[in-house]
């Protein structure tokens, strides 16, 4: 049988459900691939081979007994970002402060994956507490980009994206607070989706910035992402900001796009998300993608969202403010690391020593920025003003969505940058989120679909498609149509251009 790790999730599900192969065989193939390449990629912080094989065996047993598949993805393996709680695996958030922590409960997303028969291979690397754009802020070392292992895979969900691009898993889960699903998708040539805020439960997603955090699907194709979206999405009473409405019909939309083109779809190109600071090859790939959308029948117009220019500074006040509050829970008392408890030091001293030892530099920076922005005397000028800018960004979206169905932009201004290039320059790192942040602040849906490689360095570029709140299906339709046209024009899928990984012996 041809290499199972090169197949899409939809193909694997078909083969498993028709009994042409087994979930166990598919799982073993991916575990073997992880064993062969993850030394070079370091996408995983934890691999649970026994748990994955047991989950796969349960799917096979049910199918062999004649039961219908538990879901469209039953038996398909998945890589889970290490920010979702799991009772049977550690949950570290890429931080020393949670090293080896075994949560006493499963996240809702995890419960839904298990109930759907999705096989969880392990937990993926990430920037500590999802703060970063390169996965270099992980306490456990960086993940490498399968397109060029000297380069970053994006972040914070670099492990999930790299696992897909290295064919270690056909599906992954990420979280997107300022672009942490979409930007890694863009720089690894994979698909990443930030659903509408409230569309996927945050219960058991370790909080960074609660009003922005959103879990979502990652995959190598638009259809696979849509299939996963329908498994994890929907109302959850355990998350008070979960939207009590049906999941938008994203699978149907992805298929409709691939089959039917984009006649009658109005696409807005956002003026503010291009120009100075964007890599020329990224802009050219983006412009070619827009031409492709036009060729598919879309009506393309340019639109302006002037407040987007202030999205980055507003985000880097709001997210650190919420983070400084959320991360106060890491107090060395109830779980996680405790340092310096020598029976003479006070709780406060132990707390301060533990947080100093357990948090990395970026987490400390953001906690201090947030503490500053929330201080009396500064609150109105910083946090309060950022919240007003947030209102203006939402109004910009509302105004343009009255005229167009979706908005498009490059997902991130550059291709994958070299490991180490921006680690000493926080502001340069923050610029990676320039295009993705507006949708987090407004809460609407947005995704990244690969749109070729940049002619200046041969690395993948992402096309961002932004949709109105609860109209996630529009993005899937546009991305599905674009992906089909892109592959037809190239004669092959984009991801098949990833260099072969050097396979190391076990």
Partner 1 sequence: MPTISRTEVAHLARLARLAVTDSELDVFADQLDVILTSVARVGEVAADDIPPTSHAVPLTNVFREDVVRPGLSQQQALAGAPRAEDGRFRVPRILDDPDDRTNMGPERA
**From the CB of residue 140, how many other CB atoms can be counted at a distance below 10 Å?**
19
**What residues does 200 pair with on adjacent strands?**
233
502 scored as a contact of partner 1 (CB under 8 A) = no
Within 231-270, which residues bind partner 1 (CB under 8 A)? 237, 240-241, 243
- Tokens found for residue 427: 């502001």
**SS3 for 161-190, per residue?**
HHHHHCCCCCEEEEECCCCCCHHHHHHHCC
Within 179-198, which residues bind partner 1 (CB under 8 A)? 197-198
Say whether 343 is catalytic. Answer: no
Q: In 220-317, at which residue ranges do the beta strands (DSSP E only) sit?
A: 266-270, 299-303
With respect to partner 1, which residue has the nearer C-beta, 62 or 353? 353
Say whether 71 is catalytic. Answer: no
Say whether 81 is catalytic. Answer: yes
356 scored as a contact of partner 1 (CB under 8 A) = yes
379 scored as a contact of partner 1 (CB under 8 A) = no
Choose the catalytic residue: 71, 95, 156, 467.
Answer: 156
90 scored as a contact of partner 1 (CB under 8 A) = no
Total binding residues for partner 1 by CB under 8 A? 73
Based on the number of CB atoms within 10 Å of its own CB, is 19 exposed (0-12), middle (13-18) or buried (19 or more)? Answer: exposed
Query: What residues contact residue 270 under an 8 Å CB cut-off, 6+ apart?
Result: 303, 304, 305, 308, 400, 407, 408, 409
99 scored as a contact of partner 1 (CB under 8 A) = no
For residue 295, the minimal CB distance to partner 1 (Å) is 34
The two beta strands, 119-124 and 44-47, are antiparallel
139 scored as a contact of partner 1 (CB under 8 A) = no
Question: What's the sign of the alpha-carbon dihedral 413, 419, 420, 426?
Answer: positive
353 scored as a contact of partner 1 (CB under 8 A) = yes
Choose the catalytic residue: 95, 134, 160, 180.
Answer: 180
350 scored as a contact of partner 1 (CB under 8 A) = yes
Within 383-402, which residues bind partner 1 (CB under 8 A)? 384-392, 394
Answer yes or no: are the C-beta atoms of 123 and 87 closer than 8 Å. Answer: no
466 scored as a contact of partner 1 (CB under 8 A) = no
For residue 114, the minimal CB distance to partner 1 (Å) is 17
346 scored as a contact of partner 1 (CB under 8 A) = yes
- Contact range with partner 1 by CB under 8 A, out of 16-24, 247-255, 309-317, 495-503: 309-317
CA dihedral 344, 345, 350, 351 (to 10 degrees): 130
Answer yes or no: are the C-beta atoms of 124 and 161 closer than 8 Å. Answer: no
With respect to partner 1, which residue has the nearer C-beta, 3 or 276? 276
């Amino acid at each position: 049988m041809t290499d199972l790790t090169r197949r899409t999730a939809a193909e694997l599900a078909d083969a498993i459900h028709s009994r042409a192969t087994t979930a166990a065989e598919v799982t073993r193939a991916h575990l073997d691939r992880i064993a062969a390449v993850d030394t070079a990629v370091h996408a995983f912080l934890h691999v649970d081979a026994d748990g994955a094989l047991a989950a796969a065996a349960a799917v096979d047993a049910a199918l062999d007994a004649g039961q219908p598949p538990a879901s469209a993805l039953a038996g398909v393996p998945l890589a889970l970002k290490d920010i979702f709680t799991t009772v049977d695996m550690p949950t570290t958030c890429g931080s020393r402060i949670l090293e080896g922590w075994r949560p006493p409960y499963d996240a809702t997303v995890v419960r839904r994956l298990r109930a759907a028969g999705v096989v969880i291979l392990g937990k993926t690397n990430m920037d500590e507490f999802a703060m970063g754009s390169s996965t270099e802020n992980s306490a456990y070392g960086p993940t490498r980009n399968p397109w060029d292992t000297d380069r970053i895979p994006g972040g914070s969900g670099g492990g999930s994206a790299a696992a897909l691009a290295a064919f270690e898993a056909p599906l992954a889960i990420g979280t997107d607070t300022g672009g942490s699903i979409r930007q890694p998708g863009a720089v690894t040539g994979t698909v990443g989706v930030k659903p509408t805020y409230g569309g996927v439960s945050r219960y058991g997603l370790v909080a960074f910035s609660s009003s922005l955090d959103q879990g979502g699907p990652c995959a190598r194709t638009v259809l696979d992402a849509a299939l996963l979206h329908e498994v994890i999405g929907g109302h959850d009473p355990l998350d008070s900001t979960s939207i009590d409405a049906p999941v938008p019909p994203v699978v149907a939309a992805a298929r409709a796009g691939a089959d039917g083109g984009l006649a009658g779809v109005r696409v807005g190109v956002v003026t503010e998300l291009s120009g100075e600071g964007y890599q020329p090859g990224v802009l050219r790939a983006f412009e070619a993608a827009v031409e492709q959308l036009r060729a598919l029948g879309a009506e393309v117009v340019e639109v302006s969202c002037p407040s987007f220019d202030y999205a980055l500074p507003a985000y880097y006040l709001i997210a650190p403010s919420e983070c400084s509050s959320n991360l106060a829970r890491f107090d060395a008392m109830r779980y996680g690391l405790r340092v310096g408890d020598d029976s003479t030091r006070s709780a406060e001293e132990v707390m301060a020593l533990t947080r100093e030892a357990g948090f990395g530099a970026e987490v400390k920076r953001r906690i201090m920025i947030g503490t500053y922005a929330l201080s009396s005397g500064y609150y109105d000028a910083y946090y309060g003003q950022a919240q007003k800018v947030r209102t203006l960004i939402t109004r910009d979206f509302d105004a343009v969505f009255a005229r167009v169905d979706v908005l498009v932009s490059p997902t991130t201004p550059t291709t994958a940058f070299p490991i180490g290039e921006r680690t000493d320059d926080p502001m340069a790192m923050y610029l990676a989120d320039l295009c993705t942040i507006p949708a987090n602040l407004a809460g609407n849906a947005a995704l990244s679909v690969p749109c070729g490689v940049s002619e200046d360095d041969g690395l993948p570029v992402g096309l961002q498609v932004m949709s109105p709140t609860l109209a996630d299906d529009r993005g899937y339709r546009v991305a599905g149509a674009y992906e089909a046209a892109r592959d037809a024009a190239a004669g092959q899928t984009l991801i098949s251009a990833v260099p072969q990984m050097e396979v190391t012996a076990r």
